[in-house]
């Protein structure tokens, strides 16, 4: 056998192995379509958005969304990364245990990332994606350099979403990502590894600023999506949130503002002059958060920004 033939054979084996690893089952188009229709009907009966069936088929089984939109040809063989039996089991859990589909699949798309998630971390929300654009705009407005080595912090990083977003938005920054939960920090680290950003993100397990004492006065920006839901509202959240997401990532104390108060009051000690604090909050909290920031007398400009649904969702302060 020539060297070229050996190489070709090895390549063929590699392809075969990859396919064997990734394809769990091949089903006919009409069988897949029937499964989809049945699952959608069950979703509607359980007051769950039937579009989640396509999410599951796409993210768990690797079925192209376009194929699902058009409807696969009846006799076309569709390769699935998970068998229909597995998918049925996942969908049953979705319907009966109200487990969020992102935990079932184990990942969620967020900005340009495909983030691993588990019940140890809050599922990153689409509205939080805007925090990164706001951080970029605020840094530009404050004349903060985006090219010198500099430091940012993501407090309560969870899956690491914001830290990854900041590390990408500010390509020469070091991002300090803090979480009280060791399990969350492990997921965040895994996500940083998957995106090749570990060299510029440092992870800490601890409470808010506690692990960052050596960075006093040095941070260009602090970004956080802290727990902000009033404790008494937790039980009435959707069961997907109330029964599955980590309460520590949601519970903001009696008025929901405990963590925001703590961060707003502590941040000035860690920011450089002109450095920014950017916080996510709940609908209806804008006036209270503005008041909390103003009461410190440390922030020169306090601004509130809406999310894409028009809800006042983010508060920004720049250190005097």
Q: Does 278 bind ligand GLN (CB under 6 A)?
A: no
Size of the site for ligand GLN (CB under 6 A): 9
CB of 35 to ligand GLN, least distance (A): 31
Rounded Cα distance between 247 and 318, Å, is 30
CB of 282 to ligand GLN, least distance (A): 7
Rounded Cα distance between 293 and 300, Å, is 10
Q: Does 227 bind ligand GLN (CB under 6 A)?
A: yes
Q: Does 228 bind ligand GLN (CB under 6 A)?
A: yes
x/- track of binding to ligand GLN for residues 155-194 (CB under 6 A)? ----------------------------------------
Among candidates 202, 199, 110, 211, which has minimal Cα distance to 162?
Answer: 110
Listing DSSP states for 223-240 in one string gives EE----B-GGGGGGS-HH
Q: Kindly give, in sequence order, each residue whose CB lies less than 8 Å from that of residue 225, ignoring residues fewer than 6 positions away.
A: 122, 128, 131, 156, 158, 162, 279, 280
50 burial (CB, 10 Å; 0-12 / 13-18 / 19+) is middle
x/- track of binding to ligand GLN for residues 115-134 (CB under 6 A)? -------x--x---------
CB of 226 to ligand GLN, least distance (A): 6
CB of 237 to ligand GLN, least distance (A): 6
24 vs 234 by CB, closer to ligand GLN? 234
109 vs 274 by CB, closer to ligand GLN? 109
Alpha helices in the chain (DSSP H): 3-22, 29-45, 51-59, 65-70, 84-96, 101-105, 130-141, 161-169, 182-194, 239-242, 258-270, 286-295
Rounded Cα distance between 300 and 141, Å, is 13
CB of 127 to ligand GLN, least distance (A): 7
CB of 61 to ligand GLN, least distance (A): 27
Q: Does 225 bind ligand GLN (CB under 6 A)?
A: yes
Measured over the CA atoms of residue 176, residue 179, residue 185 and residue 188, the dihedral's sign is: negative
Stretch that binds ligand GLN, among 39-47, 104-112, 144-152, 221-229 (CB under 6 A): 221-229
Contact residue for ligand GLN among 95, 215, 241, 311 (CB under 6 A): 241
Stretch that binds ligand GLN, among 53-61, 178-186, 210-218, 227-235 (CB under 6 A): 227-235
> In 10 A of CB 235, how many CB atoms?
8
Contact by Cβ (8 Å): 315, 304: yes
Rounded Cα distance between 49 and 58, Å, is 15
CB of 314 to ligand GLN, least distance (A): 12
| Residues found near ligand GLN in the complex (CB under 6 A) | 122, 125, 225-229, 241, 250
């Amino acid at each position: 056998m020539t060297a070229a033939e050996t190489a070709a054979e090895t390549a063929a084996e590699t392809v075969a192995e990859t396919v064997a690893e990734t394809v769990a089952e091949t089903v006919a188009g009409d069988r897949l379509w029937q499964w989809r229709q049945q699952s959608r009907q069950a979703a509607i009966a359980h007051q769950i958005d039937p579009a989640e069936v396509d999410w599951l088929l796409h993210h768990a089984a690797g079925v192209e969304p376009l194929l699902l939109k058009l409807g696969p040809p009846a006799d076309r063989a569709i390769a699935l990364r998970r068998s229909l039996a597995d998918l049925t089991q996942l969908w049953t859990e979705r319907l009966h245990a109200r487990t969020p589909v992102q935990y079932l699949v184990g990942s969620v798309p967020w900005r340009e990332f495909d983030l691993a998630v588990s019940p140890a971390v809050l599922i990153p929300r689409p509205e939080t994606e805007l925090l990164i654009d706001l951080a970029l705009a605020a840094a530009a407005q404050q004349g903060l350099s985006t090219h010198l080595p500099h430091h940012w912090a993501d407090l309560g990083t969870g899956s690491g979403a914001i830290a990854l977003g900041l590390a990408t938005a500010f390509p020469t920054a070091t991002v300090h990502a803090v979480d009280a939960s060791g399990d969350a920090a492990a997921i965040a680290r895994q996500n940083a590894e998957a995106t090749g950003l570990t060299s510029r993100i440092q992870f800490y397990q601890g409470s808010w600023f506690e692990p960052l004492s050596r960075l006093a006065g040095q941070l260009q920006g602090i970004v956080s999506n802290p727990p902000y839901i009033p404790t008494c509202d937790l039980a009435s959240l959707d069961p997907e949130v109330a029964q599955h997401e980590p309460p520590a990532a949601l519970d903001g104390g009696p008025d929901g503002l405990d963590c925001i108060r703590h961060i707003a009051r502590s941040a000035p000690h860690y920011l450089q002059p002109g450095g920014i604090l950017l916080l996510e909050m709940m609908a209806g909290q804008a006036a209270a958060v503005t008041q909390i920031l103003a009461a410190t007398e440390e922030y020169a400009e306090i601004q509130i920004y809406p999310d894409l649904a028009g809800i006042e969702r983010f508060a920004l302060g720049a250190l005097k």
